Chain A
């Protein structure tokens, strides 16, 4: 069995990727299983989905802890302590990273094959949106070495049609998938079943009456959400030009995430740790003092 785990951000098409791959495997005669996990997070927040491909009946469900292949659909996720996309990847497994440029494997991961490609750039160029469900699925399909090109294209067409994608946009997605399939290599990867991860079991025991209070579902550490670092949801990054900024407050007032403040010189400053990159500030700034650049944070 081959286990593929997709990491991306809400809105990038993470769930669809796993489904395209699942259907392609199914079309090629394998037994396949695909599933997403929903959390609280929204458009832009880390999301994860899974595809299992096997010749024999699959006896697992849910989270894939020991993937053969991981598809990281946004390079900034490599730094995300909640997403932890590289966790559990098998020795000799493959990691695909959607990144602007290549980089050496991160420390502790040189026993894996790393493949990088700028899927977002390609998607922006061909379909005009940073949605990469079809190219990410195509990349995964090629890396497995099991899925034919015709099946991945057929699966792409079927899955996207189910999402009501029509005509031109559908064609462009298929074109994108085909180009990616052709350009991504099929590395030699280790598909041996890994040693099962062993973690100590510690059942919750009954403690007799003590004078300790019960546990309440209260949060009193108010404002601690800043620790979540929603800044790594960004695909584009707003930049304030202090020359043009007059400190008029418009961006501060409209920012949905309270991420803009005034500095001592009365200029807007953005909290990049948490700015999600919605670009309302850019759109509303009456002086056009805010511009946008593609967010690039290569893992180092």
Chain B
């Protein structure tokens, strides 16, 4: 636990593997995370992508990448990762590729692919014990197509297909799938949540995961200025707030055993987080929808009460 090379931001490697000039939105919350993964893996990796915002990271003939990249299809990036991993394994075994030419395989998709259309493929890859990383940038909707609801969209968020109306005051009436738990139920060596604001936590997790052979899975909180309607400068601040309000718990599970890696002593009221984003504006304007805000808040408290109990943590949470 103590033998980490990442203690402060000073320990972040300065070598860059993502060149400037990518065509993604200004203020994108996913690119800092991608940069950190590239740094941690020292660019010796193939990033296998599914359809999503980052498909447009490479528009022919340009690339900001200094590592390898493979675009597959919407539903099957983990299977694409499988093919590359298996091919390298057998070619090395047969002596056709020298072992020093080996690369790590990272499946890199948005939440639409991870939570919805590619869930089956991920489940298969984990069950097969594929030695790979999965990094999902979870911006909680199909952002690339104009921000429609996905399986990752939280309760009450407005999206292009769950607009708050007179008849449907909440916006999205469903709730966010718990992908961490879905993945964890497969008992892979490593599953973690990360956030772009918490860089040291993130790098330590990649470092820890790298010690295991098998599926190493990461879900990254990903502010999306374009879909969440916040200023481009706010992405990191919103990420911090999500952690401090308990909206986005930072945790890991090693072979299924869960541990929270950062525990806010006092949870900030979720309102502080909700108010930063246009997608929750209908909860406050023109009238405050108290019961919805309360439901969101109570769900968060409930989560942390359970965590406090199982992990014997000292968190100040108002009683139910």
Contacts and interface: CB of A to CB of B under 8 A. Distances in A.
Interface string A200-242: 0000000000000000010101111111111001000000000
What interface size band does chain A fall in?
35 or more
Interface residues of B, number: 44
Most-contacted residue by chain B among A11, A262, A271, A280 (CB, 10 A): A280
A259 interface: yes
B24 A223 contact: no
Contacts of A222: 19, 63, 65-66
B35 to A, nearest CB: 6
Contacts of B65: 222-223
Nearest to A275: B20
B63 A223 contact: yes
Contacts, number: 140
Interface string A37-52: 0011111110000000
A41 B63 CA distance: 14
B32 A226 contact: no
A280 B28 CA distance: 10
Nearest to A11: B226
A41 B59 CA distance: 9
Interface string B52-77: 01001011111111100000000000
B89 interface: no
A275 B25 CA distance: 11
Contacts of A44: 25-26
Contacts of A7: none
Nearest to A10: B25
Interface stretch (B78-86, B115-123, B229-237, B263-271): B229-237
Interface stretch (B9-17, B208-216, B310-318): B9-17
B60 A217 contact: yes
15 contacts: A39-B59, A42-B25, A43-B27, A164-B163, A224-B19, A226-B20, A228-B62, A248-B9, A249-B10, A253-B9, A254-B196, A254-B236, A255-B32, A277-B26, A278-B225
